[in-house]
Structure 1
Amino acid sequence: MAAFRWITLLLLSSFITSSTAAEKVVVQLKWVNQFQFAGYYAALEKGFYKAAGLDVTLRPNGYNGSFVSPVDAVVSGDAQYGISNSGLILDYLNGKPVVALAATLQHSAVSWLVLEKSGIRNIHDMADKRLMTVFPLSESLELLEPFRAEGIDPKRLNLIQTIFDLQPLIDGQVDAYDGYVTNEPFLLEQKGIPYRLIDPRAYGIDFYGDVLFTSQAELQKNPDQVAAFYQASMAGWRYAMAHPEEIIDIIINKYAPQKSREHLRFEARTMRNLMQPDIIAIGHMNPGRWLRIAEVMTEHNRAIDNQVLNAFLYNREDYQPNLLRYLRIATIASVIALLLAGIATWIYRINRRLSREILAREAAEQQLRHLSETDALTGLANRRAFDQRLHKEFRSFLRNQHFFSIIMVDIDWFKRINDTYGHPVGDHVLTEFAWRLRDHIRKTDFLARIGGEEFAIILPETYPQEARKRSEQLQHVINDTPFLPPGADTIPLVITASFGISCVAENDLAADAVLIRADIALYKAKNNGRNQVELYHGENKLALVTQ
């Protein structure tokens, strides 16, 4: 629907302004040419900007150790658009007239990188260490906020201006580096250097990333241009994420020949995880989330009136291209009443069609919000909701030592069921399996379907032996009563499942570590013949009080 609406606007714009020269605009990127800006390359190379009447120049950043603040470039008028991060909201609150148009990344890619040999395992270990980051600090706020959230004195932060090169970290001249999870980890892996990511999300700091913005002056002066640029850019991003290999070819041939294909593919894969384009519309921004980001970024987390943000967030409905105005100008020169009536009728129909598109989009967005946290088949929480809950439990563990366990459950030989009886029977088995699990866990436990026939349970305040006991109870619930799905020739199906268990460990650096260990235990259960319960045993130091 959004694509149809954008095409409709472009057709109308072409009809009205066919004799108008393309408007020249400059986009100040926040870094060097790479897949990070794939959507803008796609919009330029596939003709989306040209169709919108725009002559766009993409200006890279960070070459030769220099860095131009995109905010300063846009506010000064040196560029009309820029790419920044969530620190943009602080610039706005400090009086800079900027307007956020779209958030390319739903989760920021910014993270601290440390070498494994440094011994730095968490944010507390970084106090009094040499931290290389981007100045001005508004470009690094999401990396600094975890220190304040954890009560670390700002005077203990030894911040060093970045030179946009990993070599000082590799040589031991600095202890931590302000990096992008889509970029620098690949470079370290290529060199065979073990590293750790210290992600702000582990400390409750979950900001938007790569925010497209303009200035209030530009929006007031050229609202039609801003609307066209926004629509063409989002169309470019949708194209880029649907055709990553084609855009990688374009980047290598025209923008960044020094980048390897493997590096750009690494970027594309990592960015997809941060964008979640299959669940959330690219560019989507939640005003409530922006409000919370603003409160976190300001001193003492002071409350901010949401009205203050009205001028910060771009409202496309307030700035739609003024089609009627242009059509009136076109019809003034005409003396044929029939043509005037025909144009008026045409506009009316287009407006009705656009209104239907808007209503359909709003309905679709409501449905997406529901789908984003619910598995449609079983009604359980889905992977996205599970990941959110897992990170919440991990933060509670870091702050209060509230231990938790994870049980991974996988239906044995599920493919045989689908192949033998068909997918409707398989779906019935999945649904009944989910209900049996749901009806036999505690109210405090959290159950989700995280894959095809894979489920996961988070058990707060539960240690490994108790988790094993509960897994064995669930195993009996599954095994003791055959499944009777319709369409299986009334033959009872004996279903079994494999269980993998892991508990959070004192030396865990990220929530995903617990999940990975549970998955290893699950693999062992399946490898040992299935219908097994396996507890992870490894070198990770579990709390001594688990027994």
Structure 2
Amino acid sequence: MRMLLKFIIILLVTTSLFAEKEKISLQLEWLHQFQFAGYYIAKERGYYDVVGLDVTIKEMKTDVDVVKEVISKKSEYGIGRSSLLVDRAEGDPVVLLGAIFQHSPSVLITTNPKIKTLKDLNNKNIMITNDVANGATIKAMLLSKGLLYENINFQQHSFKLKDLIDGKTDAMACYLSNEPFFLKRAGIPYKVFDPRDYGFDFYEDIIFTSEDELKNHPKRAEAFYKASIEGWKWAFAHIEETAKIIHDKYNSQNKSIKSLIFEGKVLKELALNKNGDIGTISMEQIDKITNWYRVTGLLKEKYDFSPYIDPLGFNKKRLNIGVLAKRGEEKTLERWEPLATYLNRSLEEYHVVIHPLSFDEIEEHIKNKSIDFLLVNTVNYVQFENQYGISRIATVKSRGMQGEACSYFGGVIFTKKDSKIKNLNMLKGRKFAAVNEDSFGGWIMAYEFLHDIGIDRDDIKLKFYNTHDAVVHAVLNSEAEAGTVRSDTLKHMAMEKQIDFDKVKILEPKQYENFPYTVSTKLYPEWPFAKLNHVSENAAKEVMTALIRMPEDSVEAVKADIGGWTVPLDYSSVHEVLKKLHIKPYDKIDITPFEVLKKYAIWIYVFISILIVGIIQFIHIRKVNLELDRKVHERTEELYEANHRLKELAHTDALTGIHNRGYFMELAEQLFKVAKRNQSPFQILSLDIDYFKDVNDTYGHQVGDSVLKLFTKKISSLLRESDIFGRIGGEEFVICLQNTTHEGALAFAEKILKEIRALEYKNNKGDRISFTVSIGVAELEGDKTLTQLLSESDEALYRAKRAGRDRVES
């Protein structure tokens, strides 16, 4: 047995080694050194081989532009800096996959004893590469001390430390892990200007690729990225061994093993995040970098980078959402991929993937736990809730003909326009098309309606077609004489020009108040979004919150043809239908009948036996139904309480207790419309706590949270009942003042500055922490929209920050 196992392992390894591998290349941004250790290790230890990749690692040359190298497809992947964001905004189709260094190792070093401060670099020479010059960290550090780029002579980087030592340049862009080691060993005095000492701490060594590569080779991209991260993990866990590999095979700079070990130890501290992970990249940090680019003028306008930051979720925990493919796999992906886009933008820790599932596939995926959440029709939900304990966290709102949102739906029973079938009684003996035995809108609703008017399923020639589209085509192509689908199917197919709606006749048409479609049946709650038992409460809470906060007019909601989401509805009416029709879980009850005496059977005993069996069955059925009713009632009671909490959550910022971004915007839009209609004064104030990151870094996030609470409590005490106050970001807030002049708003903003200056937070160590705030004010004038008004106050806020902070600008 052991010999057989060894043979299989050898066979697998041999097959892997000799299988044809995909050839790709990685363009570095510098010369070979420990800075790129993870890629060398992934290559040397076979991590790339295992995933079928033959990777060429290309050292930097002076005439190579890393971004152009990748977008021109000379290299599939590259290592870049934060300036990639500027490249993206200027039209280069780059996509950022992950950041190896969470803290930038980029520094400026001088050996000129006359240069003691950053200001001494004014009108001096700095040797630097273009991407470092345009990177956020170095540029932010220089600008923070009033140094203008036009007053500095930037020289092309020679990559030779000797040029710095010989005075051919006054300062050189270096890596904290490299040049200090050689200068110290040579006994040459030097001074380091580290952006982190000036409050600027941004990503470095970002793995990136092109949009084409990610679109055409997503699996290859994932394989390359994850193999590279494994290489980095090994490199940092075995720094001495890694240094020797680099020394022997990747040593174009002739570094010693000691210098490489020093480099590895420094870089390890800069690479690992607080959880010990490598490669993580967050939109929060990207936004900070972006804001600095806007302040420095490299970015002229706001730009949404979220679609280009780890779009496939390589650095996130994956959440798989199974969706019932009621119209087939292609249509399901087309409709629900926008939901994944929205969730991936909203969820910091998770990456969502949509999986279309047929009716027959759902249960198997629940059993195997290959999906984490389920968006499914109401009957499937009730059945799986009973059998597997899944629980709903939200209910979808469908979108009507005019864009109106509705959380209920129905079914239509239809035939061809020229059909001789005039009413439902004429369906007896006819060919009838439905979607599936378990399809609520595509069969069960119609079944209930037919049952109520005395038509049993045996009275029609029933055939299931698996998708709603197939049912419609079957009727219009005369394969069936009538059929049933959910209420919005005909609308979708008509809008997609698959059918001519004028050729359809709806039987027993009904209109319900505030419901946009003509239907034949009653209305029932829309599809629930449910979590499976194995999903953590944190993940469920994050997803639930994101769904409830999804604006019904968002791009993704419109693309998905939904009106957003609401708190979970009461599905007891669905249980009643299933009971009435004896459909699972109310279909079969296991009983043990008395054994009928065969040899001495007497008719009276047979009658008594049958009667007893009937009574037992009735009692058992009643007991099971009561138990199911109890479970439904308990779940409903829990949901009522959860609904109340969810409504509060949907409106309130969890930390500070003031309005969250979504609810603030909703209220502000209402007040804005009133102000426009009444031509009354209306002001927007954008506020940002100055140097708030320093508070977090110095005292910890717990103290930072307490400072935010103190800040919002103080400002809330200054507001009138008619004013609204919301948190729109980490330390960013907005106030809406109605019936207040511009002069009054400026006076109020000055009052806020004074009150915040006087504010002080004392932590448990006795430290007294004070802080200030910058404010931008904008006034409603002419035909401005609320979006323009918010943008103007935001721009004013940035002017206040550029002018020195702790001030008001308008």
- Counterpart Cα distance in 2 of 1:68 and 1:33: 15
Show the 5 A alignment for 1:294-309.
Answer: 294-298=290-294, 300=296, 305=302, 308-309=304-305
Q: Does 1:351 align with 2:396?
A: no
Deviations 1:447-503 (CA, angstroms, capped at 9, x unpaired): 68xxxxxxxx86669xxxxxxxxxxxxxxxxxxxxxxxxxxxxxxxxxxxxxxxxxx
Give, in angstroms, the shift of residue 207 of structure 1.
1.4
Contact 1:71 1:82 in 2 (8 A): yes
Distance apart, 1:35 and its partner CA: 1.0
Q: Which residue of 1 aligns with 2:80?
A: 84
1:454-493 matches, within 5 Å, as none
Residue 232 of structure 2 is aligned to residue 237 of structure 1: yes
Relative to structure 1, the CA distance from residue 254 to residue 352 in structure 2 (aligned partners, 3 Å threshold; closer, same or farther) is same
Q: What secondary structure, in the 3-state scheme, does the structure 1 residue paired with 2:57 have?
A: strand
- Give the 5 Å matches for 1:292-441: 292-298=288-294, 300=296, 305=302, 308-317=304-313, 349=368, 351-352=370-371, 388-389=697-698
Mapping 1:13-28, distance limit 5 Å: 21-28=20-27
Residue 86 of structure 1 aligns with an amino acid whose one-letter code is S
For residue 142 of structure 1, report the CA deviation from its aligned partner: 2.8
For 2:130, what is the secondary structure of its paired residue?
coil
Partner SS for 1:119: coil
- In the alignment, which of 69, 74, 82 is matched to residue 70 of structure 2? 74
Cα gap change, 1:42 to 1:19, in 2 (>3 Å): closer
Q: 1:127 to 1:243 in 2, by over 3 A?
A: same
Q: Which has the higher helix share?
A: 1
- One of 143, 154, 165 as aligned partner of 2:138: 143
* Structure 2 residue 129 is the aligned partner of structure 1 residue 110: no
Task: Report how far residue 54 of structure 1 moved.
Answer: 1.0
Change (3 A) 1:163 1:360: farther
Equivalent residue number for residue 51 of structure 1: 50
Q: Does 1:225 align with 2:220?
A: yes
Q: CA deviation at 1:59?
A: 1.0
The SS at the match of 1:214 is strand
Cα distance 1:118–1:227, how it changes in 2: closer, same or farther (>3 A)?
same
Q: For residues 337-377 of structure 1, what are the alpha-carbon distances to aligned partners after superposition, in whole Å with 9 as ceiling and x for unaligned? A: xxxx99x96997372599999967987xx9xxxxxxxxxxx
The Cα shift of 1:274 comes to 0.9
C-alpha contact 1:25 1:55 (8 A) present in aligned 2: yes
1:186 aligns with 2:181: yes
Q: Residue 370 of structure 2 aligns to a residue in which SS? A: helix
Scaled by the length of structure 1, the TM-score of the pair is 0.56
The aligned counterpart of 1:94 is: 90
Cα distance change of structure 1 residues 70 and 100 upon mapping to structure 2, 3 Å threshold: same
Aligned AA for 1:84?
A: G
- The answer to whether the Cα contact below 8 Å between 1:90 and 1:138 also exists between their aligned partners in 2 is no
- Cα contact 1:43–1:235 (8 A) shared by 2: yes
Give the Å deviation of 1:151.
2.9
Residue 280 of structure 2 aligns with which residue?
Answer: 284
Secondary structure at 2:255 match in 1: coil
The question of whether the paired residues in 1 share the 8 Å contact of 2:372 and 2:535 is answered with no
Q: Report whether the alignment pairs 1:250 with 2:559.
A: no
Query: Is the aligned partner of 1:169 residue 2:168?
Result: no
**Residue 243 to residue 360, structure 1, CA distance change in 2 (3 Å):** farther
Provide the C-alpha distance between the structure 2 equivalents of 1:389 and 1:83, rounded to a whole number of angstroms.
31
Contact in 1 for aligned 2:82/2:204 (Cα 8 Å)? yes
Match of 1:33 in 2: 32
| d(CA) in 2 for partners of 1:137, 1:35 | 19
**Mapped partners of 1:126, 1:246: distance in 2:** 40
Deviation of 1:135 (Å): 2.8
Task: Supply the distance in 1 between the matched residues of 2:168 and 2:125 (Cα, whole angstroms).
Answer: 8
Whether the aligned pair in 2 keeps the contact of 1:82 and 1:213 (CA below 8 Å) is: yes
Decide whether the 8 Å contact of 2:106 with 2:176 is kept in 1.
yes
Aligned twin of 1:506: none
1:387 Cα offset (Å): 8.5
Q: How does 1:442-457 map to 2 (within 5 A)?
A: 444=761
CA–CA separation in structure 2 for the residues paired with 1:139 and 1:361: 43
| Aligned partners of 1:238 and 1:282 also within 8 Å | yes
Q: Is the 8 A contact 1:202 1:391 kept in 2?
A: no
C-alpha deviation, 1:201, in angstroms:
2.0
| Alpha-carbon contact 2:141-2:200 (below 8 Å) kept | yes
The residue aligned with 1:435 is: none
Cα distance 1:358–1:288, how it changes in 2: closer, same or farther (>3 A)? farther
> Structure 1 157/303 Cα, relative in aligned 2: closer, same or farther at 3 Å?
closer
Q: How far apart are 1:272 and its partner, in Å?
A: 1.6
Q: Which amino acid aligns with 2:94?
A: V
1:26-46 Cα deviation digits (max 9, x unpaired): 000111211111111121122
Counterparts of 1:75 and 1:82, CA distance in 2: 10
Shift of 1:240: 1.4
Deviation at 1:292, TM superposition (A): 1.8
Deviations 1:494-536 (A, max 9, x none): xxxxxxxxxxxxxxxxxxxxxxxxxxxxxxxxxxxxxxxxxxx
Partners of 1:220 and 1:48 in 2: CA distance: 23
How far apart are the structure 2 equivalents of 1:353 and 1:236? Answer: 30
- Following the alignment from structure 1 to structure 2, what is the Cα–Cα distance between the partners of residues 347 and 21? 37
Task: Compare 99-108 and 275-284 and name the one that shifted more.
Answer: 275-284
**Is 1:28–1:81's contact at 8 Å kept on the other side of the alignment?**
yes
Partner of 1:56: helix, strand, or coil?
strand
Q: How many Å apart are 1:311 and its aligned residue?
A: 2.8
Counterpart of 1:316 in 2: which secondary structure? coil
Note if contact 1:34-1:251 (Cα within 8 Å) is conserved in structure 2: yes
Percent identity, aligned pairs only, is 31
| Distance in 2 separating the partners of 1:226 and 1:256 | 27
Residues 133 and 139 of structure 2 are in contact (CA less than 8 Å); yes or no, is this contact kept in structure 1?
A: no
* Structure 1 unpaired stretches of 5+: 1-12, 329-340, 367-383, 393-441, 449-456, 462-547
Farther off after superposition, 273-282 or 261-270: 273-282
CA RMSD of aligned residues (A): 4.1
Q: What one-letter code is carried by the residue in structure 2 that aligns with 1:267? A: E
Give the aligned partner of residue 8 of structure 1: none
Counterpart of 1:478?
none
CA deviation string 1:418-461 (max 9, x = no partner): xxxxxxxxxxxxxxxxxxxxxxxx9645668xxxxxxxx86669
- Is the Cα–Cα contact under 8 Å of residues 89 and 312 in structure 1 kept in the other structure? no
Equivalent residue number for residue 128 of structure 2: 133
Question: Could you give the per-residue CA deviations for residues 168-192 of structure 1, whole angstroms, max 9, x where no partner exists?
Answer: 2111221111111011111111110
Q: Is the 8 A contact 1:131 1:176 kept in 2?
A: yes
Larger Rg: 2
1:197 aligns to 2:192 (yes or no): yes
Say which is worse superposed, 87-96 or 146-155, in terms of deviation: 146-155
TM-score under structure 2 normalisation?
0.39
CA–CA distance in structure 2, aligned partners of residues 357 and 110 of structure 1: 46
Contact residue 134 and residue 140 of structure 1 kept, 8 A: no
Amino acid at match of 2:368: R
Query: Residue deviations 1:99-156, cap 9 Å, x none?
Result: 11110000111100012x5232222121111111113566555322222233333321
- 5+ residue gaps, structure 2, are 1-11, 323-328, 330-359, 374-530, 543-692, 702-758, 771-810
Q: Which has the higher contact order (CA 8 A, sep 6+)?
A: 1
Q: 1:288 to 1:386 in 2, by over 3 A?
A: closer
Separation in 2, partners of 1:68, 1:357: 52
Residues 17/31 of structure 1: CA separation in 2 closer, same or farther (3 Å cut): same
Q: Which residue of 2 aligns with 1:124?
A: 119
Query: C-alpha offsets along residues 189-208 of structure 1, whole Å, 9 cap, x if unaligned?
Result: 11101111111222332210
Cα pair 2:76 2:213 within 8 Å, conserved? yes
